[in-house]
Amino acid sequence: MKTKVIRIGNSQGVRIPKTLIEESGITDEIEMILRDNEIVLRSAETTRKDWGVAFEKMAEQGDDGLLDQEVLEKPSNWDETEWTW
């Protein structure tokens, strides 16, 4: 689909047809990204969408632990020589 760039005050813009807005899920706020000489517009609401579900699934599978747990639990030289109780 081709469209023309129009003047909007001191800026420029494009008109997005209603059907594209509805199909894309764009509401009040969008994210605008410049990627490889392309301007990508996407709904801001989709950012982090379903993260909660993904985290729950990770917890169920036991995949939500720290990767460096052993290092954190092992006392360091500083802990043994410098730390006083």
Neighbouring residues of 1: CB distance < 8 A, sequence distance ≥ 6:
17, 20
pTM > 0.85: yes or no: no
Task: Indicate the class that CATH gives domain 6-46.
Answer: mainly beta
Output the pLDDT for position 46: 66
What is the domain partition of the chain in residue ranges? 6-46, 51-75
Find residue 33's DSSP bridge partners: 40
- Sign of the dihedral through C-alpha 36, 40, 44, 49: negative
Run of H or E including 47 = none
What is the rounded (10 degree) CA torsion for 31, 36, 37, 38?
-40
Q: What's residue 28's pLDDT?
A: 83
pLDDT of residue 80: 75
Residue 4: per-residue pLDDT: 93
Low-confidence ranges of the chain (pLDDT < 50): none
